[in-house]
Structure formats: C-alpha cells, structure tokens
Structure 1
Amino acid sequence: MEAIIERPVSAAKPIDLGKRTSIYQPEQEGLIFPEVPVFADPAAHRQHLKERLVAACRAFALQGFDYGFAGHLTVRDPEHPELYWTNPMAVHFSQVKLSNLILADHQGRVVEGRHAVNRAGFVLHAAVHEAHPDIVAMCHAHTVYGTAFAALGKKLEPISQDAAAFFEDHVVIGDEAGQVAVEVKAGHKVANAFLGVKAAIHQNHGLLTASRHSIESAAFWFIALERCCQQQLMVESTGLKPRLVSEERARYSREHVGSDYIGWLHFQAIWEQLVATQPDMFD
C-alpha cells in the first residue's frame, strides 16, 4: 500500500510580529516569560538536550504512554549530528535518567552508554534523522488512542483549535501497515513521509512526531496528537457529524498555535513541574 501523503497547500495571512517569534511572546518588557536558550559551547548544549530528553520520557510516563519496552524518543547530538541520544531499551519511561541515556549512530551502534538500543527505534528514528538533517528530535510510543485512531487509516479532521494545529501538517503512512518495523527498509519508508510535516499517523501502528526545533516540541506535539485522536474518536462515537473549523481558520490556528516554537513553549510548563517533583531525573 502506498503512503497517503498530502503536503501543506496554503499558509495563513501573516501577522506583523515585529521582532517576536510568536504572538504569544509579550510585547511588554520586563515580564517573566520562557526564553529559548543560547549556548556558549557544545557541551552545555548537549547537557541541556539530555536533560530535556529525560524530561520528555518522564512526561510520557505521566501520560501513561508506556507499553513494555515499546516507545522511543531521540534527539540529535549538537556537536556530532550523525549521532543521536535516546532512551535505553527495556527501561520504563519513569526510570529514564541522565545516567542511563545512550548515544547511537545511524547504523544502530551504541557509542556511549551501557544499555542496548531499541531495534524498532533505531530502524525508524535513525532513518528519519539520516534522511532529514533538519529534524533534530523525534518521538514514538504505543498509545491507546493514537493506535486506535491509526487503525482507521485517515487523517485528523479540524474539529477544534487543538486539532487545527495539525491541519495540513501531518500525514498518514500506509506502507507496511501493522508490520513491526525491524527492517531498515521500513525506516526509509517512514522517513520519506516526514518531508515538511511535524507528525505522522502510521496505519495500524500508531503516532510519530518530529521537530526541527527541539525535543520539547516533538514531545509536546506527540502528547497533543494523542489527545486529538482521543477527542476525534469520542466525537465519532456519538454518530453525529461534527462541525469542522473552516480551512481558512484552521490554517490561521495552525500558524499561530501549531508551530515548533509553540510546542517548545507548551513544554516549558511540563518541564517546570517535572523539575519540582522528580529531581532524580538528573541522577
């Protein structure tokens, strides 16, 4: 079966943001607001990425995204882009910490760390990272609603502002639907679908998200995509036809609440909560 891929066809009418990245950034100076960090050297950048990768895994645990050893999150190393950091094989999301992260190459060889790499994680994520140098992070987990929705083999509809964040910004992949991804060719087919989009619904498998910005963005948009799948399944269970957000309004919402930056910004609240409640992340 061929992948079902539709690319974004139109952008919303832009708003003059001045020097701001997003309309959500305050125009008034002196207010507390998250700032995207800037790093003086690769070591500081690497430490930051590893901490956020651990936090993303812990966030997945809080969301109940665990399913045995399934599920993998990756972020590209800032100094060695051919390598990526990922969670260790057969370690629960809630037990991932700085000390058990592993560093792997695109061939699945662990170059730092004591744990093995998840074979399916290597096949899918390494292929995407290798094919798309602009993608810095990726997330996948076997979730309840995402997996159920993936069985329908269709895209999300813009039934809400939240769902509009994915309007014309996700694809359905039909290739090798339901076949476990342990062969390299499966990873290449998934990689081909991630051209210019942040999310994919792999038929009979589940959800994948990718970010050209940060692991925080990839993780938040995965959480959001799972919620949107749950909401659409709930709406469809009523048997009533929902009133959809118009294409023009859906594009407008996508531009202002669906960007990589907004995903990063959303995750800052999750980060602060995790830092306050799970200090063992940094062990």
Structure 2
Amino acid sequence: MNTLTPVNRPAPARAPHLADTVTGLPIPAAPEFATYEEERRHGRQRLAAALRLFGKCGFGEGISGHVSLRDPEDPGLFWVNPFGRSFRQVRVADLICVDSTGRVVRGTGRVNPSAFVIHSQIHEQHPGVTAAAHAHTVHSRALGALGTLLDPLDQESAAFYGRQVLYDTYEGPSVSVRQGRDIAQRLGDGRAVLLRHHGLITVGGTLDEAAHWFISYDGCAQVQLLARAAGTPRVLTHEQALAAGAGFGDGELGRFSFQLLYDEIVREEPDLLEE
C-alpha cells in the first residue's frame, strides 16, 4: 500500500509592498523601557497629550471628562487628570496618582469622584486594560440619546463591530462605586461603552489605543448621525465588517495612529510636557 508523505511547503512570500506586520503596514514596534520610571514618564507624557487633544477636539464639558493610565510598577494605582483643570491646560506636572481607595498618593490636585468610581473599577476588573478615556462629547451624547450603537457604515466604525456595548441604566452622576462596578462589568471584553444620557468610555491595552479609539468613535458617531439625517445609510455586511474591523480595529494600528496626533500636539503645545 502506498503512503503519502506530507510535504512542508513554504508559506507564500509576502508581497514587496507589504511590511512584515499583522496589518502589512510598516508600523514601528511599541517602545521598550529599561526602568519603571522611564515607562511612567513616557505614559504620563502620553496622558497629558491625550487630554490636550481632547480639549482641541472640543470634548471638554465643564468639570466633566477624565482619562486614566494604570501605573506600570503598581497596578493598583492609576494616573488621571485632576479635578477642575481644563483639558486645554493640563501638563504632565498636573497629573495625579490615585490608589484603590480614592486617595491621591502623588501630585497635589483632587480627584474627580466620578473619575475614581469609573476608572478604579475598570482597572480593577480588567487587568488587560492599561488606560480608559471618558468624556461627554456632543456626538456620543446624541447617539446615546437615540439608544443606538455604531453601525458598521465604514472601515473606521467597523473597528467597534462586536466590541461596543450600550449602558442603558442611568441613576444620575456616577459617584457611587457600585455604579462604577456595574459599568465595568458591562464593558466585558469590549473596547467602548456608550452611556445613555451620559457620554462615552473607551479602553485600550495602551494609553495610545484608548485615546485613539475615543477620538475615532466620536467621529464615527458624527458620520452616523449625518448619514441618518440625510437618508438611509447602507451598512457593511457581517463579512465586510469583520474584514474591515480586522484591519482598522487592530490594536497596533490604534496605538500608532495616536502617535501622529501626539507629534502634532507636542509641536503645537510643547508646554504640556512640563514636569
């Protein structure tokens, strides 16, 4: 009886115009750090830049809105913008570090109670989440008022296909740990929570990702609102949405997309790096 011997065929060669990355894009690798202090400084600079970008995008709404970053050395601590400081004015020096009880352990500002109850619970329940962003943007509030999530209308919105949840419970401003815990539980393994009558939360494995997803989600919400106001938009099929989401929803793409915005805001507003 003849037997067939398996043949180990080489993988097809990647086309010359594609880089040797998951997406085929020439995305640089994430930075590596020799010490926790180097990583902390890098993260705090990114956090301050993200807050300035949120201000530039018009995401500020009075005292509302906060972005957090888990401390690289002590996962029980997170860095966040202080209460009462405009997004447009935050510097690295202004950031505060908060523990699991809400006590400020580094920095001189006060923590926004809503920032503590939301971000502490997200970081506690989701070890893989390094950063979380929250603000009350015009487009996310409008979408939330309709009680609808993003439809996969285009490549950008497909990044959130199957990765977003609607939080339909509203009990007033988020100042109780119980409510923060509920929001964190509803997040699951998603990357965005649309809070009805409230705003938007996005998360990421890096600060860069979380900030990029937030800015992108709000832009997608604007597109959806405009499209629906103009007529009946045509959505991607399930297969198309998965294909688009695999590219535009890639974490490395999200991380590097923020790098471009970081370079812009640091050049425009270098004072944000003051320590």
TM-score normalised according to structure 1 size: 0.88
**Structure 1 match to 2:175:** 182
Confirm whether residue 252 of structure 1 aligns to residue 234 of structure 2: no
Distance 1:209 1:84 in 2: 16
Provide the C-alpha distance between the structure 2 equivalents of 1:97 and 1:38, rounded to a whole number of angstroms: 23
Question: Do the aligned partners of residues 16 and 52 (structure 1) sit closer, same or farther apart at CA in structure 2, a change above 3 Å counting?
Answer: farther
Amino acid at match of 2:252: Y
AA partner of residue 54 (structure 2) = F
Q: Which residue of 2 aligns with 1:167?
A: 161
Contact 1:178 1:205 (8 Å CA) reproduced: no
Q: Which residue of 2 aligns with 1:220?
A: 212
Note if contact 2:143-2:149 (Cα within 8 Å) is conserved in structure 1.
no
One-letter amino acid of the structure 1 residue matched with residue 182 of structure 2: K
Instruction: Work out which of the two has the higher radius of gyration on C-alpha atoms and give 1 or 2.
Output: 2
CA distance change for structure 1 residues 106 and 230 in 2, over 3 Å: closer, same or farther?
A: same
CA shift, 1:204, in A, is 1.2
Report if aligned partners of 1:34, 1:268 keep a CA contact under 8 Å in 2: no
For 1:60, give the aligned amino acid. F
Question: Which AA in structure 2 matches 1:188?
Answer: R
Residues 1:75 and 2:66 are matched in the alignment: no
Provide the residue aligned with 1:53 in structure 2. 47
Give structure 2 stretches of 5+ with no counterpart: 1-11
Distance in 1 separating the partners of 2:13 and 2:237? 23
- CA displacement at 1:47 relative to structure 2: 0.4
Q: Say yes or no: does 1:206 pair with 2:199.
A: yes
Q: Equivalent residue for 2:102? A: 108
Equivalent AA in structure 1 for residue 154 of structure 2 = S
Q: 1:75 to 1:16 in 2, by over 3 A?
A: farther
**Matching residue within 256, 260, 263 for 2:254:** 263
Structure 2 match to 1:237 = 229
Deviations 1:34-53 (A, max 9, x none): 43100111010000000000
Question: In structure 2, what is the Cα distance between the partners aligned to 1:94 and 1:19?
Answer: 37
Question: Which of 274, 278, 282 is residue 265 of structure 2 equivalent to?
Answer: 274
**Given that residues 158 and 167 in structure 1 are in contact (C-alpha distance below 8 angstroms), is that contact kept between their aligned partners in structure 2?**
yes
- 2:23 is matched with 23
CA distance in 1, matches of 2:13, 2:240: 18
Moved over 6 A (4+): 15-19
Go from structure 1 to structure 2 and tell me whether the alpha carbon gap of 1:162 and 1:53 turns closer, same or farther (over 3 Å shift): same
Mapped contact 1:178–1:203 kept (Cα < 8 A): no
Q: CA RMSD in A?
A: 1.8
Matching residue of 2:9: none
Pairing partner for 1:122 from 101, 104, 116: 116
Q: Which amino acid letter does the alignment assign opposite residue 146 of structure 2?
A: L
Contact 2:64 2:135 in 1 (8 A): yes
- The code of the aligned residue for 2:35 comes to D
CA distance in 2, matches of 1:19, 1:231: 31
Offset from partner CA, 1:138-166 (integer Å, 9 cap, x none)? 00011111111111112211111111111
Q: For residues 142 and 176 of structure 2, what CA distance do their matches in structure 1 show?
A: 24
The amino acid that maps onto 1:228 is: C
Match of 1:74, SS state, is: strand
Identical residues among aligned pairs (%): 36
Q: Which has the higher contact order (CA 8 A, sep 6+)?
A: 1
Tell me the distance in 1 between the aligned counterparts of 2:20 and 2:70: 26
Distance of aligned partners of 1:241 and 1:48 in 2 relative to their CA distance in 1, 3 Å threshold: same
Structure 1 residue 16: Cα displacement:
9.6
8 A Cα contact 1:153 1:204, kept in partner: no
User: Which residue of the partner structure matches residue 38 of structure 1?
Assistant: 32
State the TM-score, normalized to the length of structure 2. Answer: 0.90
Q: For 1:151, what is the secondary structure of its paired residue?
A: helix
Query: Which runs of 5 or more structure 1 residues have no equivalent in the other structure?
Result: 1-14, 27-32
Deviates more, 1:254-263 or 1:38-47: 254-263
Q: Give the number of equivalent residue pairs.
A: 260
What one-letter code is carried by the residue in structure 2 that aligns with 1:187?
G
2:39 is aligned with what amino acid?
H
